[in-house]
Amino acid sequence: MKKNLLLPVLAMCGLATTAMADPFYNSNTPAAYHEVPQSVSRPYIGIAYGLTNVDSDFFVDPVYLENADIDYDALMLQAGYEFNLYVSAEFRYWFSLSDGDYSLASGLNIPDSYKDFNAWGLYLKPQYPVTEQFSIYALLGIAGVQVDGEPAWYDDLVDDVSFSWGFGAAVNFTENISAFVDYVQLYNDRYGDYYYDPFYYYYDPQGTDIYTINFGLTYKF
C-alpha cells in the first residue's frame, strides 16, 4: 500500500521540480520573460468636428440647370470595435451645428433654405500601424444622408442611402487616447442622361456629391 502511494507522490514531486525549472511557471521570474498573449480587441468612442460640403446640380425646370454649393459645420459621433491591430468596425453619425452656408449659381438668396444636414455611416475599417504612435486606415461601407432643400423646389435635396468610403490617419497620445483626421465621401450620385424631344436635344447632368473632412479624438477602452 505504501509503495502504491509513493509512486504518485514521486511523480507529483517531479512535475513540481520541472515547473520550478521552467521560467514561465516560476513566480520569481521577471514579468518580461513571461510570454502571456495580450488581446488588442476593445471598443472605442470618439467625437469630431466635420467640415462638410454638398455640391448639387439639378434642373428647376426642363431648361434651367441650378447648382447649389453648401457648407456645413457638423459634429460627428463615433462608436466602434477594434478586433485587432488591422481591422475595426465603426458606426458614425453627423449632424449640422448651424444652417448651411450656401450659394446658388443663379445668385438667388432664399430664406430658410438648406438649414439641416445629417448622416449616418456603417464602416469596415482596415488599418495599418506604421509605428507604435502612427497609423493609417480606410473606411468602406454605406451611409444614409439627408440634406434640406429649397422650400419652393424640394422637401429634401438628398434623402438616400449609398456606398461610402474614406481614408485617414491617427496619432496615439497615450494607450487610450488618439487624434485623427480623415476624408469621407458620404454620397456621390450622377443621375444625368441624354434627352430628346421634337424641339430640342440636351444632356441632363444632374447629380450630387457630399464629402466631409473630420478632425477628432478617440478614446479606446
3-state DSSP assignment of residue 212: strand
What pLDDT, in 10s, does the model give residues 160-207? Answer: 999 999 999 999 999 899 999 999 999 998 765 555 555 555 555 678
Mind spelling out the 3-state secondary structure of 66-123?
A: EEEEEEEEEEEEEEEEECCCCEEEEEEEEEECCCCEEEECCCCCCCCCCCCEEEEEEE
Provide the residue-wise pLDDT of the chain in tens; the chain has 221 residues: 434 434 443 444 443 444 444 443 344 545 444 444 455 789 999 999 999 999 988 776 666 777 889 999 999 999 999 999 999 999 999 999 988 888 887 777 777 788 889 999 999 999 999 998 999 999 999 999 999 877 666 668 888 999 999 999 999 999 899 999 999 999 998 765 555 555 555 555 678 899 999 999 999 99
Pick the CATH number of 42-220 from 2.40.160.20, 3.90.105.10, 1.20.1090.10, 3.30.70.141: 2.40.160.20
Name the nearest CA neighbour of 113 among 157, 52, 178, 75. Answer: 157
The domain ranges of the chain are 2-33, 42-220
Bridge partners of 164, per DSSP, are 141
